[in-house]
């Protein structure tokens, strides 16, 4: 079993744990499937909005986006489904990756992708549904605030009732802000809770709220450090990728000549 310190020193292990063929393969599948679903539904949203496909393809190619476009409401619904599908795939595969890493930390180096898939078939709902329930709670609080505002427009009675209930309204507003923060962190915590403790949806939500409330400084510090590691390792991977492509171009171009130039200029 790998030694765990349960402090900031463990964050550095993320680099070594992440550099694994099984985890990278599972993550790649999640990114590709999520991207394909997002791209197809985004193009459908733009087409439903009346934009011709030729114009869209010439502008976006493989990276469709709705930013800066005027679309009807049903196009936004289609686009929202695409974004939700992409998030679903990323959360699901993240739970699988964390499960593999967790088993590796416990000393099980033979935990396979097949085992991870079986685990996800049983536990994916908790990792995916938990953040959306937290978001639904936040949306409910916003709707309640709107209703309270409408009631406050009633002459005399509404204004008096709003004044008397202001402490409760303020408390609800604070809880709404906290819920929004928890939702942001739950996108990272939910797969971790499911992948390690195999909790159900309710317990995953409770753990998300509890972690943000009890250890906010750890979350912020660890995520900042992890973000720095991601930037550095991504730059390193990019450098190796460029070097590999240059090597392919140089070696194969020795005999291919102009054909290589034409292929790489596409």
The answer to whether 78 and 51 have CB atoms below 8 angstroms apart is no
Instruction: Count Cβ atoms below 10 Å from residue 45 Cβ, excluding itself.
Output: 24
pLDDT tens for each residue of 210-248: 999 999 988 889 889 888 988 998 899 899 999 998 888
In tens digits, the chain (266 residues) has pLDDT values of 667 777 777 887 777 888 888 998 999 999 999 999 999 999 999 999 888 988 888 888 888 988 888 889 999 999 999 999 999 999 999 999 999 999 988 888 889 899 999 999 999 999 999 999 999 999 999 999 999 989 888 888 888 888 888 889 899 999 999 999 999 999 999 999 999 988 899 999 999 999 999 999 888 898 898 889 889 988 998 999 999 988 888 887 777 767 766 666 65
CA angle 179, 183, 188 (to 5 degrees): 145
């Amino acid at each position: 079993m790998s030694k765990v310190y349960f402090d900031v020193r463990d964050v550095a292990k993320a680099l070594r744990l992440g550099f694994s063929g099984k985890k990278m393969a599972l993550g790649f599948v999640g990114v590709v499937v999520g991207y394909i679903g997002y791209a197809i539904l985004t193009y459908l949203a733009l087409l439903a909005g009346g934009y011709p496909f030729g114009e869209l393809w010439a502008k976006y190619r493989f990276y469709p986006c709705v930013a800066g476009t005027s679309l009807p409401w049903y196009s936004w619904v289609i686009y929202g489904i695409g974004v939700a599908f992409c998030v679903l795939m990323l959360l699901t595969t993240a739970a699988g990756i964390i499960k593999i890493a967790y088993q590796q930390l416990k000393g099980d180096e033979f935990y396979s992708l097949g085992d991870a898939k079986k685990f996800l078939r049983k536990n994916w709902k908790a990792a995916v549904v938990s953040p959306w329930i937290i978001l639904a709670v936040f949306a409910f609080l916003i709707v309640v605030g709107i209703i309270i505002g409408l009631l406050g427009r009633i002459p005399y009675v509404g204004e008096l009732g709003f004044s008397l209930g202001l402490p409760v309204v303020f408390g609800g507003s604070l809880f709404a802000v906290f819920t929004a923060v928890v939702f942001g962190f739950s996108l990272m915590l939910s797969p971790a809770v499911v992948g390690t403790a195999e909790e159900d949806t309710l317990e995953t939500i409770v753990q998300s709220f509890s972690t943000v409330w009890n250890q906010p400084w750890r979350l912020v510090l660890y995520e900042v450090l992890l973000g720095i590691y991601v930037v550095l390792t991504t730059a390193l991977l990019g450098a190796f990728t460029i070097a590999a492509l240059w090597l392919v171009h140089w070696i194969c171009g020795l005999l291919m000549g102009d054909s290589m130039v034409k292929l790489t200029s596409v």
